[in-house]
Structure 1
């Protein structure tokens, strides 16, 4: 392996360790961090294909860490259906049709998410509006996922606005991210931007992600969650602005 390839592999592994660490501390952020950093190293479609297995494994772990999977599925299935439909419909954008604008879209999604996090903006979702709002939020999240590889906007603010118990919120996030990962894999495969052979590269990223997640879970109680989240969003904001600026340089 040449020195440049070794350095590239080392940067990818380090990216997934950091992304896993963020997820271990906060319960989210692995695909967001991975897409943000890898988006500076490779095309978004390649980055999205690489994060599929690490995202799937860590989110499945998060999803089944509590007892409320069936109840959450019964409540949130319209949102999940919207995510699947929107992601598959928009996957052609990240798979190549969007070109450099896919990078701009990725930067914009990261910037919006970071801005919402830094301003502590929260939705308040009344129960009576869930029937129509849930599939709409899912569809918009799916379109953004299919276009950028980022799962969080507007799914995370919406789920946080449902007034779920802390454990249920963590599981609901795991459900949303798991469904998004599967839908993104289907969308990329449909557009011939992801094949079985690509699983090898994605598989190599699982171990660093799990190591980072384990470390994050170990130190979660020893650091200030508010301070960590604030710096996490500041870093995402910087990444998002940098990615958007690349289209104009």
Structure 2
């Protein structure tokens, strides 16, 4: 059971505020930042439990704010099925007695994503291969989500490769992140890794994350998004390498 001391409460508050700012500026990153930072002070399954409600709330808003939820859900239904199945299947890595493995895996995921994004690389457009590639990407993303609590690889680069319009991409990302959050909660609950007492802290984390998103949205209008993104990714790479060696 995670004991929320005053120092830990402050750290959680600042973590979700920062994660919310990143989400407000870039449209993503709340689970990635919060999972990475919380893993410095808590077991991976506790960190994952804390991020569930803020992640769910912000991603549902992002999903519903898009242009055509029905069309997006229909197009990516097989990918989402893969995400759900893969996440539930590997959630035992987070909730079992393999905390060191989960932390190292989380570090590797953060570092891999940051390095890929910083490189400016992009996956080729799948074309007709989308029909079978989408469920495969979903399954791999789910497997990595269940093992590390991070939703980004390879779903984010894959969705970016499809040539979607900006609002369509944001909605598709919101759908992927929402399904990942629900599946992670289900997987943790099924494997005994969901500490109900932590959900109170997760509910409280809605406040700083919402404040952070609002601040990040305002900040986005004042700074160059690419500059912020570069600083964010460098920090994420350093955090990932630290966790990988921890």
Q: Match of 2:117?
A: 117
Q: Match of 1:198?
A: 198
Write out aligned runs for 1:155-234 (5 A).
155-234=155-234
What TM-score, normalized by structure 2, do the two folds share? 0.97
The CA deviation at 1:192 is: 1.1
Q: Match of 1:240?
A: 240
Distance 1:135 1:122 in 2: 19
Distance 1:38 1:209, change over 3 A: same
Distance 2:187 2:204 in 1: 22
Question: Which blocks of at least 5 consecutive residues in structure 2 are unaligned?
Answer: none
Distance 1:99 1:47 in 2: 11
The answer (yes or no) to whether the contact 2:44–2:99 under 8 Å persists in 1 is: no
Distance 2:66 2:5 in 1: 41
The CA deviation at 1:20 is: 0.4
Q: Match of 1:43?
A: 43
Distance 1:49 1:108, change over 3 A: same
Distance 1:126 1:136 in 2: 12
The CA deviation at 1:187 is: 0.1
The CA deviation at 1:67 is: 2.1
The answer (yes or no) to whether the contact 2:46–2:198 under 8 Å persists in 1 is: no
Distance 1:110 1:68 in 2: 31
Distance 1:109 1:59 in 2: 20
Write out aligned runs for 1:86-105 (5 A).
86-105=86-105
What TM-score, normalized by structure 1, do the two folds share? 0.95
Q: Match of 1:66?
A: 66
Question: Which blocks of at least 5 consecutive residues in structure 1 are unaligned?
Answer: none
Distance 1:144 1:74 in 2: 23
CA deviation map 1:101-136 (0-9, x unaligned)? 110000000000000111011112232011110000
RMSD: 1.1
Q: Match of 2:14?
A: 14
Distance 1:224 1:161 in 2: 23
Q: Note if 1:54 corresponds to 2:54.
A: yes
What SS does the aligned partner of 1:42 have? coil
The CA deviation at 1:195 is: 4.5
The answer (yes or no) to whether the contact 2:46–2:195 under 8 Å persists in 1 is: no
Distance 2:177 2:107 in 1: 19
Distance 2:236 2:205 in 1: 21
